[in-house]
Structure 1
Amino acid sequence: MPVKLTIITINLNNAAGLKKTIESVADQSYRNLDYVVIDGGSRDDSQQVIRNYETFINSWVSEPDKGIYHAMNKGIRKATGDYCLFLNSGDWLATPTILENVFAQDPEADIVAGDVYFYNTQQKAIKWHVPSPDQLTAKTLFLGTLPHQATFIRRAVFDKVGLYNETLKIASDWLFFLEALLKYGCTYQHYQGTIAYFNMDGISCDPATESLPRREQLAVLANEYPLFLPDYERLDQLETQSLQWKQSNEYRVYHFLDRIGFISLGVFLRRIKRVIQRNLYRKR
């Protein structure tokens, strides 16, 4: 029996983005879908957009909510699928056959994550291609999280782990994956392909909230996992130093010399020097 997927879209006053998202779902060749739209009582044309596409939507509501994660939790409670995918307003699926391709591989893991394109709507161009890791480690979750618009989560996992923490504004995805994978031992699989486009107009890419994810993560670690905190801060420091090195003029020079083979030649000559020195020492 084909896997049933619940796609959950949350929206607030983004009629144009909502239309794009719904259309990408409606165009899917994979039909075993349960589509849930949670609108936060929008005052623009969002409700009309929903009504225009109502034949593709299994359940929807438009009423005030308490924020992103409250809205996502409302969607989870309505979900009837085996897996859930959060494709929020403004994001869209990569191709009309992507869901068919994913479930043709018969995924079995609790959490299946694919890749995502970060799309700059101002430049109308892909800014980054962000792959999910083949192997998930604590380091992965210390430095970032999985992209929710490209991650399929078994509905039963929410019964096991719990719903999203509604007290957090932006880091509840991270906390959910941290606890699901490290605390509850949920299984993970990487789908080798791009699932969705992520619209960079949202809160997670807003310069005004750039430091918010780290602040929330530090607060969670301090309260819930204090033994992790020193390692988290040290890892963050090392990553910052690595980034600074890669942006330096010295690194550019090193990279150029490495590209033309000069570094490899130097290593080779150094090895020859050591061999000669050892032979001379033995003869003495």
Structure 2
Amino acid sequence: MKISIVTVCWNSAATIEKTIKSVEAQNYSDLEYIIVDGQSKDSTLEIIKRYPHVVTKWVSEPDKGLYDAMNKGIRMATGDYIGIVNADDTFSDVDTISNIANFLKIHNVDASVGDIVQHREDGQIIRRYSAQNWNPEKLKIGFMPAHPAIFFRKELFEKLGYYSLDFKIGADYELITRYFLKQQISWKFSGITTHKMLIGGVSSSGFSSYKKVSEEIIKALRMNNVPFQAWRIKSRIVWKVFGFLKRK
């Protein structure tokens, strides 16, 4: 079973090497690694070129944003399943892809759903984002599993479509809604912690992005004709705070 990993980057010289080394360290042999760069102006490309033994394919050209770049990488992929690792994140350990591949071989589902941990720049882990109690119905109230922790069967993108470019930060939510709720793909929780993610991404910048995220969640649900109550989407922060305090 071939696993394709896609990294999208732009001016990521400060972090991209750590991400590449994380892929290099994986002990799974049938692994394809694709990097899609948005024509970086810093030394990102110089770093990528140092690792021809790790990076199977790469491209550097202008794009229409994050999700356009993801779509490019997915179209370039030749694996049976596709996973994402962001340019400032790493896999949780050297066995991550081996564990995912073994899980998918056993269960033969369209997608595996796992966990991630989030950390600060000093490496301190501040949150475990688990999908253990998640199910697709929770999309109707604004909750999805960690996007990078999902490994999708490649043919899903060809049959059900790619990331929509109509979203700034919510195309992952829309795609997950389309796949899991509307099309009801087969999936299973793996229990595998797949990634270590650096806090501070586009859609994880705290309360400043909360309103925009809520708007795009509502848009994603409407696009897929999913019944929902808008007030529950907008008030989901209450449950996030409650969950955080409970973990403390």
Check whether TM > 0.5: yes
Partner residue in 2 for 1:120: 120
Moved over 3 A (4+): 220-224, 234-237, 239-248
**2-structure distance, mates of 1:240, 1:32:** 41
Partner residue in 2 for 1:175: 174
**2-structure distance, mates of 1:61, 1:235:** 38
Q: Which has the higher helix share?
A: 1
Does the CA-based 8 Å contact 1:136-1:188 persist in structure 2? no
Give the deviation of 1:111 after TM superposition.
Answer: 0.9
* Backbone CA RMSD of aligned residues: 2.3
Structure 1 residues 31 and 246: CA distance shift in structure 2, 3 A: closer
Shifted more, 112-121 versus 130-139: the winner is 130-139
Number of equivalenced pairs = 243
Partner residue in 2 for 1:216: 216
Q: 1:51 aligns with which of 49, 62, 76?
A: 49
Residue-by-residue CA offset, 1:225-256 (whole Å, 9 max, x unaligned): 2x6242x424654x5555677899xx9xxxxx
Q: Show the 5 A alignment for 1:62-141.
A: 62-105=60-103, 106=105, 107-121=107-121, 123-133=122-132, 136-140=135-139
**2-structure distance, mates of 1:224, 1:179:** 6
Give the deviation of 1:223 after TM superposition.
Answer: 5.1
Give the deviation of 1:219 after TM superposition.
Answer: 2.7
Structure 1 residues 171 and 240: CA distance shift in structure 2, 3 A: closer
* 2:29 aligned counterpart, secondary structure: coil
Does the CA-based 8 Å contact 1:91-1:149 persist in structure 2? no
Give the deviation of 1:222 after TM superposition.
Answer: 4.2
Give the deviation of 1:146 after TM superposition.
Answer: 2.3
For normalisation by structure 1, the TM-score amounts to 0.78
For normalisation by structure 2, the TM-score amounts to 0.89
Q: Show the 5 A alignment for 1:1-284.
A: 3-105=1-103, 106=105, 107-121=107-121, 123-133=122-132, 136-140=135-139, 142-207=141-206, 208-222=208-222, 224-225=224-225, 228-230=227-229, 232-234=230-232, 236-237=234-235, 239=236
Query: Amino acid of the residue matched to residue 81 of structure 1?
Result: G
**2-structure distance, mates of 1:162, 1:246:** 34
Structure 1 runs not aligned, ≥5 long: 252-284
Query: Amino acid of the residue matched to residue 51 of structure 2?
Result: Y
Higher relative contact order by CA 8 Å / sep ≥ 6: 1 or 2? 2
Does the CA-based 8 Å contact 1:115-1:131 persist in structure 2? yes
**2-structure distance, mates of 1:240, 1:60:** 38
Partner residue in 2 for 1:268: none
Residue-by-residue CA offset, 1:113-146 (whole Å, 9 max, x unaligned): 111001121x531110111135523124532222
* 1:35 aligned counterpart, secondary structure: strand
Structure 2 runs not aligned, ≥5 long: none
* Greater C-alpha radius of gyration: 1
Partner residue in 2 for 1:258: none
**2-structure distance, mates of 1:216, 1:59:** 32
Does the CA-based 8 Å contact 1:94-1:194 persist in structure 2? yes
Residue-by-residue CA offset, 1:184-232 (whole Å, 9 max, x unaligned): 120111111211111113212224433221111223334552x6242x4
